[in-house]
Homo-oligomer: A and B are copies of this chain.
Amino acid sequence: MQPLIATLTERDQLTDTELSVLMNMERQYREYPAEAEIIPDRSRPTESCFLVEGLAARALSLQNGERQLTALHIKGDFVDLHGLLLRVMDHSVIALTPCRVAFVEHTVLRRLTESHPHLSRLLFSLVAIDASIQRNWILSLGRRNAEERLAHLLCELYMRFKVVGGVGDHAFPFAISQATLADVLGLSMVHTNRTVQHLRNSGLISWQSGVVTILDWGGLSDLAEFDPHYLNLFRERR
């Protein structure tokens, strides 16, 4: 529960009642190996889920098999809250690394949203923050070159990881293959590789055994024109 609570309290204060509502929320934990499908496209989930551990993604594909990941999720992210609103999935959610996921019945969530309006708004604001992140990905894909795009992604991930903890000094776990990263960046694998190497050779980052370390935060965030505002990492009456 810790990561989800951290994600929420970063955005607004929770009352003791709200905290205990969350702590006591009926849920079921499931484990997924890397590459597993957590929620299939076109399914009609009857429960929503949040990530407790691991890295997951939303995936969309073309008929020729090309794949684009439209969001990356880390522990604390309510991955599928919008399933509560949309009913039929328009994309799939997959585990990129082994994942531990907590599932909550829609009925439980719906009851919660009706009895705790503030907590409900706070939860839905996570959906809005996700949308805000997606807008920034659109900006990256449309107007940033490969290097800037990767730099921006790494800045974003570091800031998000800092909220839920478990990161070292400017370092965070990122145990995915470059082929997967290519599906995030909308690039080919080969060019992704060259882009990663370029950031490494510029001394901006290191990336080894599944851990990214940002060696020069100023340099990387300047290159990316990174402005964390869109992540809503501030307490606000919501």
A contact residues vs B (CB 8 Å cutoff): 42, 58, 60, 62-63, 66-68, 70-71, 82, 84-88, 90-91, 113-114, 117, 121, 124-125, 127-132, 134-139, 141-144, 185-186, 225, 229-230, 232, 236-238
Contacts and interface: CB of A to CB of B under 8 A. Distances in A.
Contact of A131 (B68, B121, B134, B142): B134
Nearest to A41: B229
The secondary structure that dominates the A interface is helix
Nearest to A130: B131
Q: Among A58, A63, A127, which residue has the most Cβ atoms of chain B within 10 A?
A: A127
Nearest to A184: B142
Contacts of A63: 225
A135 B85 contact: no
A128 B88 contact: no
